[in-house]
Amino acid sequence: MSIADRQMLGELVDYADVAVRTASQLRLHQSGRAIRDAEAVERANRFLEAAAAGGAFMSSGESANLYATLRPLNWAADVHLGCPELSLESECRQEVDYSALTEFIQRVRATLEALTQGKQSDPKAFEECVGFFESLGETLGTRADQAMRRTSCPCGNMGGI
Amino acid sequence: MNESVFYRLRMLVAFEIDSFEKQLRALGSSHFPSQVASDFISHLRGELSSQREAIAQIVLDYGDDPKGAGSRLRSEHRKLVEKLDYLDSLENAQTQKVPWSLVPTIERLASELLPRKRLLTASTSELNYGIRWYRSPKSALQQFLILELPAIHKTNAFLHILVGHEFFHPLLEKFFSRETPPVVARLRATCQDQFAKAHGQGDLFQKQRLGEIVEILRHIWHRALEELACDMGCAAVFGPVCVFAGLALASGGNLDEPPSPEGRFYPPWRFRFRSVLRYALAGEEEGGQQGSPLDVLARVLRDADFAEAAEILEQQVQVIKGETEQDTDLQGIKRLWHLRTAYEEVEKSLPSAWNYVKNRAEQMERTWLTTMKEVPTHLRHLELLVPPSVVRRDMDDARGAPASLSAISIAAWLHQLRGEVPDKNAPAETLLADYQRTCRLVLKAFEDVESKRRYDSRLQQVPTMDDASQDR
């Protein structure tokens, strides 16, 4: 595996971890537990901030708040559009309304912030927020698992062709 | 996650952590050329304890959130599997696996460019130099960098100059955070136009989202510019020999290999050499009356009665110029819209990338520009089969000063090329024996330089007779 692949893998593993930890914290918080993993929630918030900045940039072309990569935006789009893994199916490759996507990300972020500040949020918004992080964790984790897997294959002379 | 599956996974991870820990303990008693590996092992063991604690908490949380606990346990397992590579790195960082005499010198060079980082030098079975670092903000592991050298070239001192390229990779994060937003804005505008034109034609653009296309183009731009900036940074430190070493490594492949997903979007070698010649070695600003730094080096050699070495230098630079005057790499890039668009941005970013790496190199104690006057002395030493490790100011300077790595490398390459070119019809064994002998001399010189530095710095701390009498 090349250095560049390892870095990409590291990013997938890391963000999948942040996502599943955040989703679990929110569920536990809902059942009356205090938030113990503040680091995961804080990083999830920053992920949403980066994704929203990417979305705002894609819809307006304004790059002032843009982060160094559009990956958080694209991952958020995959989850929002329901692409479980890299797929060539047309419904996952459709044109995206980046304004609507940004609104969705901002809504998830607002719910996350409200929940971590101990405010009540309506059950639909809560499920949307937790569901987003669960799907994000699943999607990125699956991609990381695929990247780490080595398949059995022959090497050398492939039959003298 | 089903309870039975959860506990099976828990046992699997517990076994893996225990086994990982045992292997680390075994590696802890191995011999490494510096302290870094032992410290890295301690930090890795700390990470394993943190993972054990995290898993204990996950088990406690299972009752309230079985689904979340299952996902978190799978994530802990994934994080552990990702770290398994570190066992390979440590295994390959043992003294017998690396050019051990070079390790302290490499560490010092790294500390000049990356002062708060610690470098673990390891070998790899791949024919490639590389550097890895852990970016997780909370982990103590982020202070470590893992430098990988191709194991097959362990004693090939001529190629190890390329570690200079690797040290610039971690330095570029700040540069890219500043450079990226305007580039991405331009890429988005171009992609949007192309998207509108191509929409509905059933090609790539129908199947991809605009954000994905922009990200792919940004990635191609980033990969290319990162490699080119590192090449230019290496040249700012070591001078022309980084191109000599690069050409030696690249000569086994296609210099025009276009950037592709299979090749991780690496820029073509020919493009890389061209950028180094155009920015790092041309010396457009520094030129003027003196000419380029390469002209200055040739003059230094001629003034010291090394006209033949000066000619070899000029010939080799001409060889590389000849390669870069061909535009076969550019033709490959221009053929594909996405490469053409990304590389137009690469061209625009190259001057600022060069300024950035040049400024970083100038903060170093010495670069090839400040030490090229040493080269004739080292050439003389190599002719006498003496490791070129010391520079004496005059005959009375018995102790001398440690030589610079860049001057040693330049002298070694010129010495080698002087022997190689006239004897190209000599038997391969003879040429190889000469090459390997020069490698040994250079590795010895690199080792001596560091020993001498340490000796000199200790000597300054030891009180002299005069100090002692003053104290009295």
| Residues A79-96 pLDDT 10s | 988 765 444 444 555 567
Residues of A in contact with B74 (CB under 8 A): 20, 141
Q: Tokens representing B190?
A: 């171009």
B400-429: average pLDDT: 86
> Which amino acid is it at B254?
N
Residue A89 lies in a domain: yes
pLDDT at B94: 97
How high does pLDDT run on average in chain A? 84
Residue A159 lies in a domain: no
- Among B170-184, B226-240, B454-468, top mean pLDDT goes to B226-240
Q: How far is A70 from chain B (nearest CA, A)?
A: 6
Asked if B184 lies within 8 A of A63 by C-beta distance, the reply is yes
Asked if B181 lies within 8 A of A66 by C-beta distance, the reply is yes
Segment B256-278, tens digit of pLDDT:
999 998 888 999 999 999 999 99
A24-47: average pLDDT: 91
Residues of B in contact with A31 (CB under 8 A): 64-65
Percent of chain B at pLDDT > 90 equals 76
A50-66: average pLDDT: 86
How sure is the predictor about B206, in pLDDT bands with cuts at 50, 70 and 90?
A: very low
pLDDT at B467: 61
Asked if B128 lies within 8 A of A54 by C-beta distance, the reply is no
Domain that holds residue A128: 3-148
Lowest pLDDT segment from A87-101, B86-100, B139-153:
A87-101
Pairs of CB atoms within 8 A across A/B = 127
Beta B130-133 vs B401-402: how paired, if at all? unpaired
Contact of A114 with chain B, judged by CB distance below 8 Å, is answered with no
Segment A128-146, tens digit of pLDDT:
999 999 999 999 999 999 8
How far apart (Å, rounded) are the C-alpha atoms in residues B390 and B407?
11
Asked if A70 lies within 8 A of B215 by C-beta distance, the reply is yes
Asked if B211 lies within 8 A of A58 by C-beta distance, the reply is yes
Q: How far is B459 from chain A (nearest CA, A)?
A: 41
Residues of B in contact with A57 (CB under 8 A): 184-185, 188
Task: Scan residues 29-68 of A and list those with Cβ closer than 8 Å to B.
Answer: 31, 33, 36, 39, 54, 57-58, 61-64, 66, 68
How sure is the predictor about B396, in pLDDT bands with cuts at 50, 70 and 90?
A: confident
Q: Pick the residue from chain A with its C-alpha nearest to B266.
A: A4
Asked if A57 lies within 8 A of B69 by C-beta distance, the reply is no
Asked if B71 lies within 8 A of A13 by C-beta distance, the reply is no
- Mutation target among A1, A17, A74, A99 for the B interface, most CBs of B within 10 A: A17
How high does pLDDT run on average in chain B? 90
B131-159: average pLDDT: 87
**How far lies A102's CA from each of A81, A125, B142, B451, in Å?**
13, 16, 32, 59
Provide ipTM, 2 decimals. Answer: 0.90
pTM: 0.90
Domain ranges within chain B, ordered by starting residue: 3-154, 171-363, 372-458
Residues of B in contact with A14 (CB under 8 A): 135-136
Residue B89, pLDDT > 60, answer yes
Lowest pLDDT segment from B83-92, B242-251, B416-425:
B416-425
- B251 versus B205: which is more confidently predicted? B251
Residue A158 lies in a domain: no
Contact of A28 with chain B, judged by CB distance below 8 Å, is answered with yes
Q: How far is A121 from chain B (nearest CA, A)?
A: 19
B167-193: average pLDDT: 92
pLDDT at A90: 47
Report the alpha-carbon angle A87-A92-A95, nearest 5: 135
pLDDT at B34: 93
Task: List all residues 6 or more positions away from A133 whose beta carbon is below 8 Å from its beta carbon.
Answer: A19, A20, A22, A23, A26, A44
Residue A104, pLDDT > 80, answer yes
B371-375: average pLDDT: 95
B19-23: average pLDDT: 97
How far apart (Å, rounded) are the C-alpha atoms in residues B447 and B104?
8
pLDDT at A82: 76
pLDDT at B205: 46
Residue A153, pLDDT > 90, answer no
Nearest Cβ partner of A27 from B68, B81, B207?
A: B68
Nearest Cβ partner of A73 from B177, B182, B211?
A: B211
Q: At B349, phi and psi to the nearest 5?
A: -85, -15
SS (H, E, C) chain B: CCHHHHHHHHHHHHHHHHHHHHHHHHHHCCCCCCCHHHHHHHHHHHHHHHHHHHHHHHHHHCCCCHHHHHHHHHHHHHHHHHHHHHHHHHHCCCHHHCCHHHHHHHHHHHHHHCCCCEEEEEEECCCCCEEEECCCCCCHHHHEEEEEEEHHHCCCCCCHHHHHHHHHCHHHHHHHHHHHHHHHHHHHHHHHHHHHHHCCCCCHHHHCCHHHHHHHHHHHHHHHHHHHHHHHHHHHHHCCHHHHHHHHHHCCCCCCCCCCCCCCCCCCHHHHHHHHHHHHCCCCCCCHHHCCHHHHHHHHHHHCCCHHHHHHHHHHHHHHHHHHHCCHHHHHHHHCHHHHHHHHHHHHHHHHHHHHHHHHHHCCCCCHHHHHHHHHHHHHHHHCCCCCCEECCCCCCCCCEECCHHHHHHHHHHHHHHHHCCCCCCCHHHHHHHHHHHHHHHHHHHHHHHHHHHHHHHHHHCCCHHHHHHHC
